[in-house]
């Protein structure tokens, strides 16, 4: 669940920015002949509704209904006692708490006369909710509106970029507390990252550890992490006011390897989104002098997912927009030593 | 790497599938509802979504739509095949199609992806609640042990919370201290909400940046997770000395919690426990504060989900069974002092219960 700071600050996320986002969505709805739009949200799939409303449910689930005109409606199964609180941290949309959010949305749809309802990620929409909407608003048609939402969202606006900068800074602060060799206890590396992030106002922080890079590049949580090896990497995935980023740094107990890792960190920090050159070629050129580029992944928000792979070295992931910030994760082999780094690019 | 409880759960699940005549059980989950997925795979999903396909012979495939999560699952769970599939629904349908026209059950049914149930004429998926729900509610001995360990950490966590609470601190700084403590102790997940203030506070929520000041009541429920199992503690503290009104109010909640706990034993309904708690409020003319206007539940089950059935409410007729792990908490709004919480986790036994929380049942005072 989200248990860090959840607060709305108009200086960080102005109403005007949210109104522009809503207008952008409605323009796409009009273009695609939709009468209304519905998006599902929970803590794992909160990105789309947060982009529209500024709010992610800390627990439970909700539906965000956007009619062609008038105020959007957020229907959630959270208890009615928290409705006022949600209203104070959700600047766009009217909050209604109800044990049956889809039934309430169906009532609104029926009342509005809307027939063509765009649904974000229809394939992944809860089937039980779809059933209630279809029964409660007879004659409506549910149409996948994933593309319409993606077109509306486009790149990142100024507010989102500014929030990302803060998120990136908080992720970096936790990692900067780690001193190689200071502890042999794996969990002792994870805990301070959570501390720095949450004291700085992060809404959520997932810290994971690849405890022995000589053995594996897999990142584990504090409950399953194994003993630290000579080289290891810490990955901080962090949300601040609904926007997500990641940072990863690698560490070595011996000074020479750590120096090589620091050089790789600096190289990653100096990487900028390429202009006119494919990302894979730009990455290969940028890291060529350091070692072998083993793999890489770029992540951006996609639909309801706060971060999703949009490009990688295999070409299997697609959808990267170089005009918007992205999280770049890179694995290098530095004279046989595995190094992993990740950070936000382009904010 | 898999937990002790997982082996026992796998056997119980196979038995339940056999009893209900299911050839394949599909379980869906994410970081909110991770319980069904965890039951079958032992994997605690953090990002993205997942589907587990459990066959009658116990062979299990875990499909995840996040590549890093798939990598973590391969390292953490050794008993199932892990598949990364960015198109989760498409992959699950493909796997089900390969299984042929067999008896497929799925849970939690209402949250299943729409695409899974539509567009395939030959794919018939039935609600698998009858297979899974009782298993989630009534724990095996090895599961109870995990809940006990979680409750012990809840106690330790509350001691950290009390030490962290002092005038001038922000609510989210208290949460940061708790989370840091839990991460250092191997707790990856925790359900936690907080309330700070007086009569204006009507419930708990995530922290919003409130600064603690003398006279404030600070309410919280901590719910750490150990090996996938949650246990909860609810306590209230006062910044400075408690007022007479705060002490009097607390005594009502203490009496109500004890009344509820004293009612617990196998065969008693959830409704009876709620009634015992609420009767105390009614005795003090506070009955209206036991309604949904002011409170959600008077306790609830806990396990792989921090807030599972049975809900302790006067209209819930589910009989308690030995082995259920629940919390009894008469948390609600008090018209004079504001929202107040008090609750202990316990295991239902044939003739009573085993209390899991050891933190004193006090209205704490911090300076």
Q: Do B183 and A222 touch (CB under 8 A)?
A: yes
Give the minimum alpha-carbon distance from A175 to chain B in angstroms, rounded to a whole number: 14
Looking at the fold, whether A147 and A235 belong to one and the same domain comes out as no
pLDDT above 70 covers a percentage of chain B that reads 98
Residue A324 maps to a domain: yes
- Which residue among B72, B102, B136 closes a domain? B136
Looking at the fold, whether B161 and B124 belong to one and the same domain comes out as no
Q: What is the CATH number of the domain that holds A35?
A: 3.40.350.10
- Give the residue numbers spanning the domain of A288: 158-345
Question: Confidence band (pLDDT; 50, 70, 90) for B121?
Answer: low
Of the CA atoms within 13 Å of residue A303, those in its CB half-sphere come to 23
Query: E strand or H helix at B344, and its extent?
Result: strand B344-349
B78 touching chain A per CB within 8 A: no
Report how far residue A207's alpha carbon sits from residue A58's, in angstroms, rounded to the nearest whole number: 18
Q: Do A6 and B44 touch (CB under 8 A)?
A: no
Looking at the fold, whether B90 and B31 belong to one and the same domain comes out as yes
Give the minimum alpha-carbon distance from B209 to chain A in angstroms, rounded to a whole number: 7
Number of domains comprising chain B? 2
Chain B residues with CB-CB distance to A128 below 8 A:
109-112
pLDDT of res. A238 = 97
Looking at the fold, whether A162 and A149 belong to one and the same domain comes out as no
pLDDT of res. B3 = 80
Give this complex's ipTM. Answer: 0.96
Q: Do A3 and B190 touch (CB under 8 A)?
A: yes
Q: Average pLDDT across each block of 10 residues of chain A; the chain has 347 residues. List them in order.
A: 95 97 98 98 96 95 97 92 92 94 97 96 96 97 98 95 97 93 89 95 96 96 92 97 97 96 98 93 96 97 97 91 96 97 96
Chain B residues with CB-CB distance to A190 below 8 A:
183-184
pLDDT of res. A155 = 86
Looking at the fold, whether B259 and B127 belong to one and the same domain comes out as no
Residue A4 maps to a domain: no
Q: Do B177 and A130 touch (CB under 8 A)?
A: no
pLDDT of res. A130 = 97
Task: Kindly report, residue by residue over B347-365, the tens digit of the pLDDT.
Answer: 999 999 999 999 999 999 9
Residue A95 maps to a domain: yes
Q: Is A139 left (phi over 0), alpha (psi -120 to 50) or beta?
A: left
pLDDT of res. A182 = 86
Report how far residue A105's alpha carbon sits from residue A125's, in angstroms, rounded to the nearest whole number: 14
Task: Kindly report, residue by residue over B230-248, the tens digit of the pLDDT.
Answer: 999 999 999 999 999 999 9
Task: Kindly report, residue by residue over B135-168, the tens digit of the pLDDT.
Answer: 999 999 999 999 999 999 999 999 999 999 999 9
B211 touching chain A per CB within 8 A: no
Looking at the fold, whether A202 and A67 belong to one and the same domain comes out as no
Question: Confidence band (pLDDT; 50, 70, 90) for B17?
Answer: very high
pLDDT of res. B122 = 59
Report how far residue B291's alpha carbon sits from residue B313's, in angstroms, rounded to the nearest whole number: 10
Chain B residues with CB-CB distance to A191 below 8 A:
180-181, 183-184
Q: Do B75 and A317 touch (CB under 8 A)?
A: no
Residue A168 maps to a domain: yes
pLDDT of B102 higher than 90: no
pLDDT of B337 higher than 90: yes
Q: Where are the alpha helices (DSSP H) in A186-278?
A: 187-199, 255-269
pLDDT of B123 higher than 80: no
Chain B residues with CB-CB distance to A244 below 8 A:
none
Looking at the fold, whether A141 and A172 belong to one and the same domain comes out as no
Looking at the fold, whether B145 and B130 belong to one and the same domain comes out as no
Instruction: Report the residue from B89, B112, B176 with minimal CB separation from A198.
Output: B176
Looking at the fold, whether B49 and B175 belong to one and the same domain comes out as no
- Mean pLDDT on B256-260: 98
Q: Do B115 and A122 touch (CB under 8 A)?
A: yes
Looking at the fold, whether A207 and A165 belong to one and the same domain comes out as yes
Dihedral pair phi/psi, residue B155, rounded to 5°: -60, -50
Looking at the fold, whether B128 and B176 belong to one and the same domain comes out as no
Record the tokens describing residue A81, joined without a space: 């006692």
Q: Do B75 and A123 touch (CB under 8 A)?
A: no
Looking at the fold, whether B171 and B132 belong to one and the same domain comes out as no
Question: Confidence band (pLDDT; 50, 70, 90) for B120?
Answer: low
- Mean pLDDT on B179-193: 96
Looking at the fold, whether A243 and A338 belong to one and the same domain comes out as yes
Q: Do B114 and A4 touch (CB under 8 A)?
A: no
Q: Do B183 and A79 touch (CB under 8 A)?
A: no
Report how far residue A217's alpha carbon sits from residue A341's, in angstroms, rounded to the nearest whole number: 11
Instruction: Report the residue from A129, A195, A219 with minimal CB separation from B180.
Output: A195
Looking at the fold, whether B58 and B129 belong to one and the same domain comes out as yes
Report how far residue B10's alpha carbon sits from residue B56's, in angstroms, rounded to the nearest whole number: 11
Looking at the fold, whether B155 and B52 belong to one and the same domain comes out as no
Query: E strand or H helix at A204, and its extent?
Result: strand A204-210
Looking at the fold, whether A61 and A148 belong to one and the same domain comes out as yes
Q: Is A24 left (phi over 0), alpha (psi -120 to 50) or beta?
A: alpha
B269 touching chain A per CB within 8 A: no
CB-CB neighbours of A304 under 10 Å: 25
Chain A residues with CB-CB distance to B183 below 8 A:
187, 190-191, 194, 207, 222
- Mean pLDDT on B257-284: 98
Residue A3 maps to a domain: no
Alpha carbon dihedral A289, A291, A295, A296, in 10-degree steps, equals: -40
Instruction: Report the residue from B32, B187, B294 with minimal CB separation from A59.
Output: B32
Q: Do A190 and B113 touch (CB under 8 A)?
A: no
Give the minimum alpha-carbon distance from A86 to chain B in angstroms, rounded to a whole number: 9
Task: Kindly report, residue by residue over B18-58, the tens digit of the pLDDT.
Answer: 999 999 999 999 999 999 999 999 999 999 999 999 999 99
Instruction: Report the residue from B179, B202, B292 with minimal CB separation from A194.
Output: B179
- Give the residue numbers spanning the domain of B23: 4-136
Number of domains comprising chain A? 2
Q: What is the CATH number of the domain that holds A218?
A: 3.90.230.10
Residue A5 maps to a domain: no
pLDDT of res. A44 = 94
CA distance to A42, A119, A268, B46, B123, per residue, from B62 (Å) = 21, 27, 34, 14, 19
Q: What is the CATH number of the domain that holds B198?
A: 3.90.230.10
Of the CA atoms within 13 Å of residue A98, those in its CB half-sphere come to 16
- Which residue among A131, A153, A175 closes a domain? A153
Task: Kindly report, residue by residue over B126-143, the tens digit of the pLDDT.
Answer: 999 999 999 999 999 999
Looking at the fold, whether A138 and A166 belong to one and the same domain comes out as no
pLDDT of res. A80 = 83
**Which residue shows structure tokens 């504090």?**
A222
Looking at the fold, whether B121 and B184 belong to one and the same domain comes out as no
CB-CB neighbours of A83 under 10 Å: 18
Report how far residue A265's alpha carbon sits from residue A252's, in angstroms, rounded to the nearest whole number: 13
Q: Do B208 and A317 touch (CB under 8 A)?
A: no
Report how far residue B113's alpha carbon sits from residue B110's, in angstroms, rounded to the nearest whole number: 9
Q: Is the dihedral of CA A113, A110, A133, A93 positive or negative?
A: positive
Chain A residues with CB-CB distance to B209 below 8 A:
5, 7, 201
pLDDT of res. B1 = 62
Report how far residue B70's alpha carbon sits from residue B50's, in angstroms, rounded to the nearest whole number: 9
CB-based burial, B53-90: b 16+ in 10 Å, e otherwise: bbbeeeebbbbbbbbbbbbbbbbbbebbebbbbbebbe
């Amino acid at each position: 669940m989200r248990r860090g700071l959840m607060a709305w600050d108009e200086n960080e996320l102005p109403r005007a920015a949210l109104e522009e986002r809503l207008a952008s969505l409605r323009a796409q709805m009009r273009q695609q002949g939709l009468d209304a739009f519905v998006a599902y949200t929970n803590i794992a799939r909160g990105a789309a509704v947060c982009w529209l409303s500024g709010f992610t449910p800390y627990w439970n689930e909700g539906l965000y209904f956007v009619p062609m005109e008038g105020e959007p409606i957020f229907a959630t199964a959270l208890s009615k006692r928290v409705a006022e609180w949600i209203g104070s941290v959700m600047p766009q949309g009217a909050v209604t708490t109800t044990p049956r959010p889809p039934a309430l949305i169906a009532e609104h749809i029926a009342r509005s006369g809307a027939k063509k309802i765009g649904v974000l990620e229809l394939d992944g929409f809860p089937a039980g909710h779809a059933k209630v909407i279809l029964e409660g608003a007879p004659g409506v048609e549910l149409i996948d509106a994933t593309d319409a939402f993606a077109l509306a969202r486009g790149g990142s606006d100024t507010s989102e970029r500014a929030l990302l900068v803060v998120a990136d800074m908080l992720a970096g602060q936790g990692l900067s507390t780690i001193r190689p060799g200071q502890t042999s206890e794996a969990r002792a590396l994870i805990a301070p990252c959570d501390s720095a992030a949450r004291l700085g106002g992060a809404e959520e922080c997932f810290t994971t550890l690849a405890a022995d890079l000589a053995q594996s590049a897999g990142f584990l949580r504090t409950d399953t992490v194994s003993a630290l090896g000579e080289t290891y990497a810490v990955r901080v995935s962090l949300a601040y006011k609904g926007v997500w980023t990641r940072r990863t740094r690698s560490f070595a107990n011996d000074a020479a390897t750590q120096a090589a890792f620091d050089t790789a960190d600096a190289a990653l920090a100096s990487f900028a989104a390429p202009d006119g050159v494919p990302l894979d070629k730009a990455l290969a050129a940028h890291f060529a002098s350091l070692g072998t580029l083993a793999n890489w992944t770029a992540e951006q928000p996609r639909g309801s997912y706060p971060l999703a792979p949009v490009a990688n070295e295999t070409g299997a992931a697609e959808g990267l927009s170089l005009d918007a910030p992205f999280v770049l994760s890179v694995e290098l082999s530095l004279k046989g030593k595995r190094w992993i780094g990740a950070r936000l690019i382009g904010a | 790497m898999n937990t002790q409880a997982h082996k026992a759960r796998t056997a119980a699940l196979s038995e339940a599938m056999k009893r209900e005549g299911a050839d394949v059980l599909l379980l869906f989950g994410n970081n909110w509802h991770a319980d069904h997925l965890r039951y079958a795979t032992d994997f605690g999903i953090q990002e993205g979504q997942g589907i587990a396909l459990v066959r009658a012979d116990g062979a299990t495939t875990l499909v995840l739509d996040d590549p890093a999560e798939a990598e973590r699952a391969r390292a953490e769970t050794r008993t199932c095949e892990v598949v990364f599939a960015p198109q989760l629904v498409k992959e699950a349908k493909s796997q089900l199609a390969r299984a042929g026209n067999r008896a497929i059950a799925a849970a939690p049914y209402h949250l299943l992806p729409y695409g899974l149930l539509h567009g395939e004429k030959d794919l018939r998926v039935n609600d698998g609640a009858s297979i899974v729900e009782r298993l989630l509610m009534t724990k095996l001995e090895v599961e109870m042990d995990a809940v006990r360990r979680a409750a012990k950490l809840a106690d330790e966590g509350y001691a950290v919370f009390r030490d962290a609470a002092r005038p001038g601190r922000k609510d989210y700084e208290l949460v940061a201290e708790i989370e840091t403590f839990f991460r250092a102790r191997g707790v990856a997940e925790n359900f936690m909400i907080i309330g700070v203030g007086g009569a204006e506070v009507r419930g708990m929520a995530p922290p919003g940046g409130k600064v603690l000041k003398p006279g404030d009541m600070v309410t919280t429920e901590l719910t750490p997770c150990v090996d996938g199992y949650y246990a909860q503690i609810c306590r209230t503290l006062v910044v400075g000395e408690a007022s007479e009104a705060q002490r009097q109010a607390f005594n009502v909640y203490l009496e109500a919690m004890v009344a509820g706990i004293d009612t617990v034993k196998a065969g008693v309904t959830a409704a009876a426990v709620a009634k015992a708690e609420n009767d105390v409020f009614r005795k003090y003319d506070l009955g209206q504060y036991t309604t949904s206007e002011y409170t959600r539940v008077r306790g609830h089950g806990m396990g792989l989900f921090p807030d599972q059935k049975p809900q302790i409410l006067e209209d819930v007729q589910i009989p308690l069974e030995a082995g259920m792990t629940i919390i009894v908490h008469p948390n609600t709004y008090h018209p004079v002092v504001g929202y107040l919480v008090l609750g202990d986790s316990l295991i239902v036994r044939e003739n009573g219960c085993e209390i899991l929380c050891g933190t004193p049942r006090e209205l704490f005072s911090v300076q």
